[in-house]
Amino acid sequence: MANVADFSLEAERHAAGRRAVAGIDEAGRGPLAGPVVAAAVILNPAAIPDGLADSKTLSAKRRETLFAAILATADVAFAAVSARVIDEINIRQATLRAMARAAAGLSDRPDFVLVDGRDLPPVTCPGEAVIGGDGTSVSIAAASIVAKVVRDRMMDEAARAFPGYGFHSNAGYGTAAHRAAIEARGPCPIHRMSFSPLKQLEHVLRK
């Protein structure tokens, strides 16, 4: 059963005078293919969907249900950074760029951000990096759900554009079947060539 996050971190910031507290999280930092997607969410304290939790602990059906509830009740924005840019600037910088763009896309400008992980993106307001935040803060949990659902939908589209890699089931992660497909077919345009084993494969192909 998922550990359900709560509104404590947000309430503390509201009590300190912060009006719009956004949660930020990403999906797709580790895969071998596809974009990294970040989402930013400002929840309505009077209409928080029940059951918000780290997206990784939820079924796909539950994520979709919560995704719809979040969009109906909260201020939401998301942003994606492509595999090509990930290769150019590295995954950490690409993740922070996506997070910053998501925060900038909110209708209401946040005056504080709660970010899952160790790093704060370059935003225009103060913030706090919260390790394990997607299991602690409902705002971060909501952002994790939005980012995951959006990225999964993008990878479903990629599965149709680039058949044979199993993107509809592996979402670009380095499963055994996905790695076997890369070895058999070579990489496609959305593979991250700076990631192993693709980096090693690119070296072989250039010989």
**pLDDT tens digit string along 32-68?**
999 999 999 999 999 999 999 999 999 999 999 999 9
Give the Cα separation of 135 and 131 in Å (integer). Answer: 9
Q: Is 129 a domain residue? A: yes
Over the range 140-153, which residues count as b (16 or more CB within 10 Å of their CB) and which as e? bbbbbbbbbbbbbe
Is it the case that residue 1 has pLDDT exceeding 50? no
- The total number of structural domains that make up the chain: 1
What is the domain extent for residue 74? 8-206
Q: Is 1 a domain residue? A: no
Q: Is 3 a domain residue? A: no
Helix ranges (H only) for 36-90 are 60-73, 83-89
Q: Is 181 a domain residue? A: yes
Residue 149, domain CATH = 3.30.420.10
pLDDT at position 27, please?
98
Q: For 131-181, how does the pLDDT look when each residue is reduced to its tens digit (9 = 90+)? A: 999 999 999 999 999 999 999 999 999 999 999 999 999 999 999 999 999
Q: Is 145 a domain residue? A: yes
Is it the case that residue 201 has pLDDT exceeding 80? no
